[in-house]
Amino acid sequence: MGVQTVDGRGTAGRGPAVAGFAPWPPQGGAKERGRALREKAPREAHAHLTVTADRPGVVEAVELANLGRLADLVPIRIGRMAASPFAFLRGSAGLMAHDLATTSASGVTAQLCGDAHAANFGLYGDARGHLVMDINDFDETVPGPWEWDLKRLAASLVLAGRQAGADERICREAAADASASYRRTMRRLAKLPALDAWNAVTDEQLVSFTDSHDLGEVLAGVSAKALRNTSARFAAKATVRTEDGRWRFTAAPPVLSEVPDADAAAVSASLGEYLETVPAELHPLLARYSIQDVAFRIVGTGSVGTRSYVVLLTDRREEPLVLQVKEARPSVLLPHLARAGFEPAAPITHEGRRVVLGQKRMQVVSDVLMGWTTVDGLPYQVRQFRNRKGSVDPAALRPALLDDYARLTGALLARAHGHTAEAGVIAGYCGKGEELDTAIAAFAVAYADRSEADHAELVAAVRSGRLPAETGI
C-alpha cells in the first residue's frame, strides 16, 4: 500500500516522504524540464547586453563599493582596479551584477561563486597536503541564476586574452569554449548516479576530460610553487622570535602591518567563537596550538580595504599554522538578485557563515579548518592562510593556451554548480548544439567592450584627481 507524501499525493513507495529528500516518484524528466525552459528564455537571448538608464556611473559605483572599507586602503584598491580592464572587472562584481540583472535567465538556481572570473580558479591543499583544483574565492557567494557565473567567466576570459595579446578570434573562441565545456560537463553529470556525479570529473581527469593537454607545463609550474606555498614558508619569511621567546610578525607596510594591542586581543578572543563552527573532531587538533601574534594583511583586488588579519599559531614544536581572519561583507549580488526576481531561500544570519557554507556547497574538497566568527560586531570568515594555494594568471598565458584554460575553468564551474542545481535540468536547457556557446561568446565580447570603457572612465577619474589611487602595491 502506498503512503501519503507531504503534499498529500499517494506514492507506491514503502517509506514516508521526509523533509530534505526528493519526493517519490521522481517529478518528471529533468532534461525535458530543462528543454521546456527555452520557451521562456531562448538560448540565443543570452547574447544580449542592455545597459539600463539607471546604471550607476563608474565613479559612483566605485565609491558605493568603498563604503565601509578602511579609508586609508581605498586608494590601493582603486590603483589595483586601474591597472587594466581585466583588473577593473575583478574589482567590480557589483557593477556587473547590476548589468546581469536584466539579462536572460533560465530560472534554474544554483549556488553561485558570485565572482567567477578567470583568475578565481586555482590550486590549494586538501587535508593530506595533496593539491586540488577548483574555484577558490567565495566572498560573494549566494544562490542565483547559474548563467551569471558563466557570463562573468566568459567576459573575463575575453579581457584576459586581450591583455595577453590574443586576437579577437581567439578571445571569442575562448569564451565559447568555456560555455561548451560547461555544457558538456553538465551532460556528463546528468548521466551519472547522484553520488558518482557529486565526485565526478576528478582533478586527475580534468586535463584529459577538457582536452587541455597543452596546459600541462603551466599547471606543473603552478603546482610546484603551490606545494611550497605554506604557513611554514610564510612564517619563516614574515616572523621573528622576540626576546621574550614568542614569535612575532615583522611589519612590511602597507601589505603587512602591526595592529594595536586591543585589536590583537579582540581577534584572538574571537577564535573561541570560531572554534564552535569547526567540526568537533578537529577541536583536539586546534587545541595543540598557541596564539603567538596577530597582524593586518591586505589581500586581493576586490577585497582591499576590508579588515583582514593573519593570526600566527605554533604547536609544541614551534611549527607554525597561520589563519586568516577576513571580514565578510554582504554579497554585492544580493540587491541585484532581488531586482531580477530571485529571492534568497533563507535569511542570512552571519556573512562569514554564508561564505563558508557556500564554499563547501561548491567545492569537492574544502579547507577543513574553515569557520566563522565575529570581531567587534563585524562578521568574519576564518581559513588557513597559504594553504598550498596557487593559480594560473590568465592574462599572462600564451594566446594559444587561452582556450585550454577556458575549457578547464568551464568544467570546474559546471562541477561546482552541479552540487546544488539539478544537472539534468541545466543539461536539457543547454542542449547538444552550440546555440548557447555562440550566445555566451557574443555577450562576453560585448561585456569586455563595456568593461574597457568603464576602465577608461576610472583611469580618467584618477588622472583628474576625482578618485585617489596608489599604484604598484
Confidence label for 4 from pLDDT (cuts 50, 70 and 90): very low
Q: Who wins on pLDDT, 387 or 150?
A: 150
Residue 15 has pLDDT above 90, yes or no: no
**pLDDT tens-digit readout, 140-158:** 999 999 999 999 999 999 9
**pLDDT tens-digit readout, 208-252:** 899 999 999 999 999 999 999 998 999 999 999 999 989 999 999
Residue 172 has pLDDT above 60, yes or no: yes
Alpha-carbon gap, residue 17 to 11, rounded angstroms: 9
Q: What is the mean pLDDT of the chain?
A: 93
Report yes or no: 206 and 412 within 8 Å, Cβ to Cβ: yes
- The lowest-confidence range among 11-25, 272-286, 366-380, 443-457 is 11-25
The residue whose grid cell reads 563599493 is 65
- The lowest-confidence range among 256-270, 297-311, 422-436 is 297-311
DSSP state of 314: E
Instruction: Write down the H helix ranges in 342-395.
Output: 351-362
**pLDDT tens-digit readout, 426-448:** 999 999 999 999 999 999 999 99
Residue 54 has pLDDT above 70, yes or no: yes
What's the mean pLDDT in 46-63? 96
- Residue 284 CA, chain-centre distance (Å), reads 30
User: What pLDDT is recorded for position 467?
Assistant: 97
Q: Who wins on pLDDT, 203 or 181?
A: 181
User: What pLDDT is recorded for position 19?
Assistant: 80
Residue 26 has pLDDT above 90, yes or no: no
**Cα-based distances in Å from 364 to 106, 196, 222, 385:** 25, 12, 20, 19
The residue whose grid cell reads 567567466 is 153
Report yes or no: 469 and 79 within 8 Å, Cβ to Cβ: yes
Alpha-carbon gap, residue 207 to 217, rounded angstroms: 12
Residue 12 has pLDDT above 50, yes or no: no
User: What pLDDT is recorded for position 14?
Assistant: 59
**pLDDT tens-digit readout, 123-134:** 999 888 889 999
DSSP state of 434: S
Q: What are the cell numbers at 271? A: 577564535
**CB-neighbour burial class of residue 237 (10 A; exposed 0-12, middle 13-18, buried 19+):** exposed
Domain boundaries, the chain: 30-205+212-227+398-464
What's the mean pLDDT in 331-350? 90
Instruction: Write down the H helix ranges in 165-290.
Output: 168-190, 194-198, 203-209, 216-228, 231-238, 261-275, 283-286
**pLDDT tens-digit readout, 279-288:** 999 999 999 9
Residue 101 has pLDDT above 90, yes or no: yes
Confidence label for 6 from pLDDT (cuts 50, 70 and 90): very low
Mention every residue, 6+ apart, whose C-beta is less than 8 A from residue 468.
Answer: 74, 75, 78, 462
